[in-house]
Amino acid sequence: MTQESSCCNGAIGSDNVLNMYPEKRKLLKEYIDVLPIGDDRNFNKGFLIQTLHKAQEIYGFLPESVQLFVADQLKLHVSAVYGVISFYSYFTDKPTGKYKINICTGTACFVRGAGRLVEEFERYLGIKEGETTEDKKFSLGGLRCVGACSLAPVVMVNDKVYGKVTTKMVPEIINDCE
Amino acid sequence: MIKTNKDLLQYYNKITKESSKNDLEIIVSMGTCGIAAGTTPVLDELKKGIQEKGLSNKVTITESGCMGLCHSEPSIEVIDHKASKSIVYGDVKPEHALDILSNGVNPINGPTLINRTWYYPEDESKKENCPQARVVLRNTGRINPESIEQYIMQKGYQALGKTLCEMSPDDVVKSIMDSGLRGRGGGGFPTGKKWSLAKAVSADQKYVLCNADEGDPGAFMDRAVLEGDPHAVIEAMAIAGYAIGATKGGIYIRAEYPLAIKRLQIALNQAREMGFLGKNIFGSAFDFDIEIKYGAGAFVCGEETALIHSIEGMRGEPSFKPPFPAVAGLWAKPTIVNNVETYANIPAIIRKGADWFKTIGTPNSPGTKVFALAGKIKKVGLVEVPMGTTLGDMIFKIGEGIRNDREFKAVQTGGPSGGCITAKSIDTPIDYDSLRALGSMMGSGGMIVMDEDDCMVNIAKYFLEFTLDESCGKCTPCRIGNTRLYEMLDDITKGRGTQQTLFKLRDLAHVIKDTSLCGLGQSSPNPVLSTLANFIDEYEVHIYEKKCPAGVCRELIQYTIEADKCTGCTLCARNCPVSCISGERKQPHVIDQSKCIKCGVCYEACKFHAITKN
Ligand SMILES: Cc1cc2nc3c(=O)[nH]c(=O)nc-3n(C[C@H](O)[C@H](O)[C@H](O)COP(=O)(O)O)c2cc1C
Ligand code: FES
């Protein structure tokens, strides 16, 4: 592990997101700069997940250029970074819509009809779960238990929680986003 | 800064005496569920009322964590400290605020009056008609989790003071061992034994970790504790650190719990300021501090070895045990991993002693267990009962039975790793060993109640879909085996199952159970095996009659309109999302079966029960 060389010095990736937003890059750099990064890769790895959380908070997603940047800063191989991103469902390397519609598919919501809600949202927006509309306005996803099981079935739009949702409320919820 | 045990007691006496609380206190339940149900406007209205009526030196508002009354949020408790009286309201609306302020503990019309079904074993003796005993939740829903003073007023950090000033590490381990406390994260491993294993290994660094990953979908006990009483977990982790000889701790928490994270951060800072974390705690030679580590949405990271890999910044894949984390865990150093609820028991055990703890619960499973009761139950909520309480009492006494007066069918415990328990076992006392004997498991405390409208084959399929999604892919039985299991269940729910499918299903389930690498794979077939054992008739009807008795599996049902009952009100046609219902006004309608997506909207919309499902 310790022998692998940092091959990504200077590489910028196939997208240009990193250089497009210098102010975002600055924020991320400031966050990383205060971490006690050393020469021990294994030690540095301990800061990877929190750094990725920060990067996704800043950029909304984790494009290749940002992955390379993080790898470079933490002195890790980019494969280690990508391996972590692809493992955890919280991280995404695809841009998401302005409104992230997440339907809770926890057990409590499932037995109270969450499956039907997923289908109705898919039908209404014309996209499948995990996809984003062409105009980048809505993305549709699933979520496991937000802890509001008494309000099952639950739908979250960004940070807003809708409880006791019925298929009839789907158009209302979409209109609420405008 | 608190430097000695005496300092703490003096401070405790001082703030208790000078308590800024007025005679009337209103506790507002501000957990995630309460906020989602609309507690904030109620709180605002109460604050406004206090301002306008000039009551600020008569009434105190306390924003607490979850009271457990999720079924009736927004909920509040009004306490008259002078008269030692209190009243709990549910379904409070902002317009009730002024009325509540002027009536105090005298009941008003409007909000629902809540029957208190719990008592606090640490401060009071068992009460009639109180099946719930709150040890873990002793502060949750009673104090402001963002105030360390309020925690100290509940005897907070006295247990840490006692361990550091009066007990040796061996005493602490012995005390936890004697209490019989078993891990609340699912496995039920004796906590004292885990600590003594880690203590016995000598190393230059050891770690104390708290598992707050709470992966079971439909369970929210750990979230409630962290949102309602974060200091209890911090205090317990410091005690554990002293016991095993660790100076560093970490809390691994799901990123999906922003409110719990925020309250933990506040609590950690307060504990550092007061000197309960940091160097030379209570003037002793003991140093300890805690860091928060974030999960990123992987169920398997709840498994302790995967959790450790995740903290190390790797993919959260589990590894083979032994070596156990107590011997070689985080960064290959001795590490204990305990669940949030396990920790929340520790301060009470140290304060009151192991013998007191053993008076609650059963001999093999002392203490209490917190459950998140959800699903088709009337009173969805957080409950804490002594071990040994029967399932029937949980569901019918505390949960008040099934919603809409449907028939109870089964309850799923242990989430995707557990199994279902049916009406015939309803008198089983809840403890680790009895649940395992029933083919289920205690799990972390999620309890999903199902009624006659739930298809058990479909439930098994749901849990397998979950497992498939969450399997890390490291071992073949779990990765491939569960995929095949899922396909077989899918076949059965779609009318393609045969007798062969049933045999293969059972065989493969056993193979996966026996050969998977970690607990995720080893337990993933449990929902299949337990539904097979209890509901074989449902499987058979799906296979041989191509029907779904509960009317859930789409391919096996059909909606039709009974012409003689249909009044032609057009309600169904107007509600149908695919416009497949036609008919003139006041004439019987018909469903175009070729276009019907079987969503059931018409079935629910019809006021005349003219639509049948079979
Ligand atoms: C697949 C899987 C998921 C688990 N998820 C959790 C979890 O979400 N929370 C938890 O506390 N323990 C979970 N556990 C159990 C942990 O591995 C570990 O036993 C536990 O944290 C130990 O703490 P305890 O002894 O206090 O229960 C899980 C185990 C497995 C196999
Ligand atoms: S299962 Fe949906 S909020 Fe808990």
pLDDT in tens, B29-44: 998 888 888 899 999 9
Closest atom of ligand 1 to B343 CA is 26
Q: Assess B318–A contact: CB distance below 8 Å, yes or no.
A: no
Does residue A36 lie in a domain region?
yes
Same domain, A8 and A64: yes
- Whether A62 and A22 share a structural domain: yes
- List, as ranges, residues 355-394 from B with C-beta within 8 Å of A: 372, 374-376, 380-381
Q: Does A146 share its domain with A71?
A: no
Query: How far are the Cα atoms of B6, B163, B179, B378 from residue B173, in angstroms, in the given order?
Result: 24, 10, 10, 42
Ligand 2 centroid–CA B452 distance in Å is 20
Does residue A94 belong to any structural domain of this protein? no
Degrees, nearest 5: CA angle B394-B400-B402: 100
Give the model's confidence band at B20: pLDDT under 50 very low, under 70 low, under 90 confident, else very high.
low
Q: What are phi and psi of A20, to 5 degrees?
A: -70, -30
B212 at interface of A, judged by CB pairs closer than 8 A: no
- Does residue A51 fall inside a structural domain? yes
B405/B291: higher pLDDT: B291
Q: Is B373 exposed, middle or buried (0-12, 13-18, 19+ CB in 10 A)?
A: buried
Q: Which of A87, A107, A131 is the last residue of a domain?
A: A87
Tally Cβ neighbours within 10 Å of residue A176.
Answer: 12
Q: Could you say which residues from 226 to 285 on chain B have a Cβ atom under 8 Å away from some Cβ of chain A?
A: 255-257
- Locate the ligand 2 atom nearest the alpha carbon of residue B217 and give its number: 1
CB contact under 8 A, A112 and B599: no
Is it the case that residue A7 has pLDDT exceeding 50? no
Q: Please indicate, yes or no, whether residues A113 and A142 belong to a single structural domain of this protein.
A: yes
| A110 plus A41 within the same structural domain | no
A106 chain-B contacts, CB cut-off 8 A: 217-218
Q: What angle do CA A78, A84, A85 make, to 5 degrees?
A: 90
pLDDT in tens, B509-524: 999 999 998 889 999 9
Q: Mind listing the pLDDT tens digit for each residue in A32-73?
A: 999 999 888 888 999 999 999 999 999 989 999 999 999 999
* pLDDT surpassing 90 at residue B601: no
Q: What percent of chain B has pLDDT over 70?
A: 100
pLDDT tens per residue, range B382-400: 999 999 999 999 999 999 9
Q: Give the pLDDT confidence score for residue A5 in this predicted structure.
A: 41
- Which ligand gives the minimal distance to the CA of B305? 1
Residues A51 and A27 in one domain: yes
Among A87, A111, A143, residue at a domain's last position: A87
Q: Quickly state the pLDDT bin for A8 (edges 50, 70, 90).
A: very low
**Distance of residue B36 Cα from the nearest chain A Cα, in angstroms:** 6
In this model, does residue B184 exceed pLDDT 90? yes
Of B71, B312, B375, the CB nearest to A45: B312
CB contact under 8 Å between A49 and B296, yes or no, is yes
Q: Please determine, for residue B77, whether its predicted confidence score (pLDDT) is greater than 60.
A: yes
The minimum CA-CA distance between B245 and chain A, rounded to whole Å, is 22
Give the per-residue pLDDT at B455.
93
Q: Which CATH number belongs to the domain containing residue A170 in this structure?
A: 3.40.30.10
pLDDT-derived band at A10, boundaries 50, 70, 90: low
Q: B313: left (phi > 0), else alpha (psi -120 to 50), else beta?
A: left
Regarding whether A69 and A122 lie in a shared domain, the answer is: no
At B232, list the tokens.
Answer: 């209890």
Residues of A in contact with B299 (CB under 8 A): 144
A93 in a domain, yes or no? no
Antiparallel, parallel or unpaired: β A160-162 and A155-157: antiparallel
pLDDT in tens, A106-128: 888 988 889 889 988 998 999 99
Residue B57 pLDDT: 86
Vertex B241, ends B236 and B247: CA angle to 5°? Answer: 130
Ligand 2: residue of A103, A118, A145 to mutate (most ligand atoms within 8 A of CB) is A145
Would the CB atoms of B293 and A107 count as touching at under 8 Å?
Answer: no
Residue A47 and residue A109 share a domain: no
How large is the greatest C-alpha to C-alpha distance in chain A, in angstroms? 59
Q: Are B114 and B75 in contact (CB under 8 A)?
A: yes
Pocket test for ligand 1, best of B237, B244, B339 (most atoms within 8 A of CB): B339
Q: What is the mean pLDDT of residues B69-87?
A: 90
Which residue range forms the structural domain that includes residue A111? 99-176
More confident residue, B250 or B607: B250
Residue-wise pLDDT for A71-94, tens only, equals 999 999 999 999 999 999 889 888
Does B190 sit in the ligand 1 pocket, CB within 6 Å? no
Domains, in order of start, for chain B: 20-116 (3.40.30.10), 148-356 (3.40.50.11540), 368-451 (3.10.20.600), 456-545 (1.20.1440.230), 558-613 (3.30.70.20)
- How high is the mean pLDDT of chain B? 92
Report CB contact under 8 Å: B601, A106: no
Sign of the CA dihedral B298, B519, B420, B453? positive
Question: Closest partner residue to B297 among A45, A88, A154, by Cβ?
Answer: A88
**CB distance from A42 to chain B under 8 Å?**
yes
pLDDT at B568 (0 to 100): 92
Under the banding of pLDDT at 50, 70 and 90, the label for residue B215 is confident
* Chain B residue numbers touching A46 (CB-CB < 8 A): 311-313
Q: B404 CB near a chain A CB, below 8 Å?
A: no
The answer to whether A152 contacts chain B (CB < 8 Å) is: yes
Q: Is A140 on the interface with B (CB under 8 A)?
A: no
Q: How far is CA B611 from CA B440, B567, B590, in A?
A: 38, 11, 10
Of residues B576 and B348, more confidence is placed in B348
Cβ(B162) – ligand 1 distance below 6 Å: no
Burial of B78: CB neighbours in 10 Å, binned 0-12, 13-18, 19+: buried
Non-local (6+) Cβ contacts of B545 within 8 A are none
Burial class (CB within 10 angstroms; exposed 0-12, middle 13-18, buried 19+) of B402:
buried
The total number of structural domains in chain A stands at 2
- Is A80 found in the same domain as A109? no
ipTM of the complex: 0.85
Looking from the CA of residue A108, the nearest atom of ligand 2 is 1
Question: How many CB contacts within 8 angstroms connect chain A with chain B?
Answer: 137
Give the 3-state secondary structure of residue B408: strand
Q: Which atom of ligand 1 is nearest to the CA of B211?
A: 11
Please tell me which residue of chain B has the smallest CA distance to A147. Answer: B220
Which pairing describes strands B446-451 and B368-375: parallel, antiparallel, or unpaired? parallel
A13 plus A83 within the same structural domain: yes
User: Does A80 share its domain with A104?
Assistant: no
pLDDT surpassing 90 at residue B126: no
Domain boundary among A52, A87, A122: A87
Residues of B in contact with A111 (CB under 8 A): 375-376, 448, 450, 454, 459
Q: What's the pLDDT score for residue A12?
A: 63
For the four alpha carbons of B393, B399, B401 and B402, in that order, the dihedral sign comes to: negative
pLDDT at A6: 44
Range in B51-60, B150-159, B384-393 the model is least confident about: B51-60
Residue A165 belongs to some domain of the structure: yes
Cα(B337) to ligand 1 centroid in Å equals: 8
List the end-to-end C-alpha distance of chain A, in Å, as a whole number: 50
Q: Specify the pLDDT at position A90.
A: 87
> What's the mean pLDDT in B591-607?
87
Q: How far apart are CA A174 and CA A155, in angstroms?
A: 11
Tell me which chain A residues have a C-beta less than 8 angstroms from the C-beta of B257: 147
Mean pLDDT, chain A, as a whole number? Answer: 87
The answer to the question of residue A171 being in a domain is: yes
Contact A150 B311 (CB under 8 A): no
Average pLDDT (A157-170) is: 87
Q: How many CB atoms lie within 10 A of CB B253?
A: 24
Q: Give B569 to chain A, closest Cα distance, Å.
A: 18
**Cα B249 to Cα B236: distance, rounded to the nearest angstrom:** 11
State the Cα–Cα distance between residues B264 and B212, nearest whole angstrom: 11
Nearest to A167 among B217, B375, B601 (CB): B601
Q: What is the pLDDT of residues B218-253, one digit of tens each?
A: 888 999 999 999 999 999 999 999 999 999 999 999
